[in-house]
Every structure is written in structure tokens, then in C-alpha cells.
Amino acid sequence: MRFFVFTFLTIFFLACNGPSETTSNTTAVPDRAATAAEGHMALTPAAIEPEVVFEYEDILWGFNWLPDGTMIATDKSGKFLLIDGDGNSTEVANGVPTVKNVGQGGLLDVLPSQDFATDRLVYFSYSKPANPDDADKADASTAIARGKLSADNTNLENVETLYEAGPKTGKPVHYGSRLVWGPNDGHLYFTIGDRGNRDENPQDSTRDHGKVYRIAADGSIPADNPFVGIKNAKEAIYSFGHRNPQSLTIHPETGAIWETEHGPRGGDEINIIEAGKNYGWPVISYGINYNGTQFTQLNSKDGMEQPLHYWVPSIAPSGMAFITGDKYPGWEGDLVVGSLKFMRLQHVQLDDSNNVVGEQKLINNMGRVRDVRMGPDGYLYASVEGEGIVKLMVK
């Protein structure tokens, strides 16, 4: 009975009120960046939209900008590309040295001279084969070189090697390598991985590999390098005990050198690099062997630096940049790190004391990220395998 009364009353009221009027309103998408800047909301990963500004299917290992806004990029196979603002590219066709493009080797990072507008010098790292005529089968090591970009951008002239690690080996792994200019001293800092010889190279100052290095712009050794004057030491070494560092960047306020390096299975690290310090590999680590066994029982030891942050499981970090400017409100001073393994960017949140206080995932599953840079326009850019150069816009 209650059901019939309820049904009757429902029909009665609907009949009295008549059909309801439906209206359609279109609301503009909010400017999330502007709203966040006013303090009304935090910028979220959902607000980030990747825009491909240069399409490229192969591996762009590193990229940077020339003073006129042209982008210069390295194709791992051994090409330099110049990319204009419209996404058109030309190849520097002549003068690029032969690389060993096997495994993790190839043409790696690129860095314009601090006075490029005057000298047109381009610094770069690559896997240099012992025999360029049979490069893929030759032993190789990481080399740091520079050459002059011709006025018409077609040739790399007067290429000279500034540093060449040794001995060469046939192992196809752990070349490093990133380059940055020290903001306080004007010297060139670069990384070289342990070249797959963890038990000999990283902890021995008389051997190359597994190190961060510092040289002057002309390749000479600064007199205040920490291993200058030490018997048989490689005097270009700035820090040691590294596995395979593939990121270097400069803190925008302190000028400190920040680095990421690959661990084995777990134990990828963020480190702040200081002169003469030992970063522990392979004596201490938060990782294990790829087969699940342990190679060390230690994750700390007196005289060895702890990482600022580490990842377990590994993300395979490659490329890193501090967020500056006003394009990403609320994220200023944070880090963005590329992940080869998870094919994304890792937003690493820092507090005022540079402690890691959180992480967010950006552009998930777009592709393996090789390099990350803040662009001259204030936006983040990343080189993504199979995509090209991607610009991180705010929706």
C-alpha cells in the first residue's frame, strides 16, 4: 500500500511542477599556472602536457642551446643536429669524430663554450674507439673533446681531445657522461662511469673511470684539483667512488654540482659533488646484483659520502634539471630527473634545506628519457627516445 501512495504522490508533484528546464553552460579551462602562482592551488602532474617540438625516432642523447636560441643535439649514432625554433633540423655534416655506437657508447653529451658567441667552440663527450676504421669491434673509452662550429654550421673544425680515459676496454657499458661548466670557477666538470670494472676502477685514484673530473676549458689541470701532486694519481679527478653518472647540473642558488648515477639493481643515487670526496661505490650501496645476490653488506662507512637520495627499485636516472622561473608555480627549486626504466620524468620535491620531501611522476610511459634541461624560455625540455624533444607545457 505504501508503494502505491508513494508512486501516486511522485506523479502528482511531477505533473504540478512540469518538465524541468535544462541549461547548458560552457566553462573555460582554468589557467592552472596563473592560479597556482596566486597561491590558490598547487600545480599537479595532471596539469603538465608534453608537446613534441622536434620529432625524431632515434636516440638524442644530449641537447643544449646556442646563444641565438638554436638547439644543438647529439644523435647517439654519431651525429650533431642543429634544430631551429620551428622544429627543422640540419646535420653538422663534417668533422665529427667516429664513435663506437655499441651498447651504451656513442656520441653522448654536448655543451657550448661559455663564450660561444666569440669562439664558436662546442664541447662534447663520446666513446672513442682505439681503431676508428673498425669502431664497432674496437676497444673504447670515454673522451672529452671540443671543436669549432663553422660559420655556416656545416662543419666541426679543429677537433681536439681534451681528456681521454684509459685503459680502453671492449665492455659496452658505463661510459657516463655529462658535462657542465662550474659557475664559480669556469672549469669543465664531466663524468665517466666505471666501464664495468667496479672492483678496480672507482676506488683507485691512479685509475680512470668511476669518477667526476674537472679540467680547465683548454684541457689543462687546475692547480687546486684535489689529487694534484699525489703520486701516480689522475690529477683531473674531482671526486671518486661512482658507478655510472649520467646527470650533472648546477644548483641555481648555491652553485653546487649535483649528480645522479645508476645503481645496479636498486641504489640509484642523487649526490652533491664535493672536491676529493669518496661516494662509496662499490664498497657501500643500497643496491644488489642483477641476479639478486649481494656484493656488499654495507650501505655506510666512515670516509664515504651518503647519497642525498636513493631509489629502490631503480629508476635508471638520466638527465636532471632544477626548475627555475615562474612557469611551474610551487615547483621552483625542485628537481626533474629523467627515468630510462619507467619512461617518465621524476619530479623530486625539495625543501629549503635541499632535503627530498616527496616525488611525483610526470609524462608517464611516453618513452625513455635521456636528457632534461630548463630552456631559455623558462620551460622544461626532455629528449625522449622515439619521440624527439618534448616541451612540458602547463594546461
Question: Which of the residues are catalytic?
Answer: 174
∠ CA 341-259-70, rounded to 5°: 80
Contact of 363 with 390, CB cutoff 8 Å:
yes
The count of residues in the chain is: 395
**What gap in Å lies between CA 384 and CA 58, rounded to an integer?**
9
Structure-block grid coordinates of residue 47: 596539469
Alpha-carbon distances, residue 31 vs 35, 278, 325, 329, 369 (angstroms): 6, 47, 17, 12, 28
Specify the pairing of strand 317-322 against strand 89-91. unpaired
Nearest to 258 by CA among 196, 313, 336: 336
Using CA atoms, how far residue 381 sits from 55, 71, 106, 180, 319, in Å, is 13, 11, 22, 17, 11
CB 216 within 8 A of CB 236: no
Q: Locate 122 and state its grid cell.
A: 662546442
In one letter, which amino acid is 161? T
Q: Which of 254, 269, 266, 272 is CA-nearest to residue 309?
A: 269
CB 171 within 8 A of CB 197: yes
Residue 176 in grid coordinates: 657516463
DSSP character string of 351-376: -TT--EEEEEEESTTS--EEEEEE-T
Residue whose C-alpha is closest to residue 370's, from 359, 357, 383, 360: 383
Widest pairwise Cα distance in the chain: 103
DSSP 100-147: --STT-SEEEEEE-TTHHHH-EEEEEEEEES-GGGGGGS-EEEEEEEE
